[in-house]
Amino acid sequence: MKARVHVSLKSGVLDPQGEAIRHALGTLGFEGVEGVRQGKLIELELAQTDPAAAEAEVKKMCEALLANPVIESYKIEIA
């Protein structure tokens, strides 16, 4: 089964890369983009077949390595 982990900077943490993207979109003529936050998507292929067990395991992975809880939050999707 597959898991997707979305990792993003916490809301209070400045994201200069997102700001650079917003600026570039403005340069291209896209108006009204009031904010951009950049994150990352990590896709995992898991041998586990039980969704609840898979989610519990991926949560542990997030806490141990995939996200830094000091600056990042994460969201897990199991598919």
- Interface with other proteins by CB under 8 A: which residues? 13-14, 16-17, 20, 64-66, 68, 70-71
Instruction: Report in angstroms how near the CB of residue 41 gets to other proteins at its nearest.
Output: 13
Q: Which helix (H) or strand (E) holds 73?
A: strand 72-78
Instruction: Report in angstroms how near the CB of residue 58 gets to other proteins at its nearest.
Output: 15
Give the burial class of 64: count Cβ atoms within 10 A of its Cβ; 0-12 exposed, 13-18 middle, 19 or more buried.
exposed
Residue with smaller CB distance to other proteins, 41 or 50: 41
Instruction: Report in angstroms how near the CB of residue 71 gets to other proteins at its nearest.
Output: 5
**Gap between the Cα atoms of 13 and 11, Å rounded:** 6
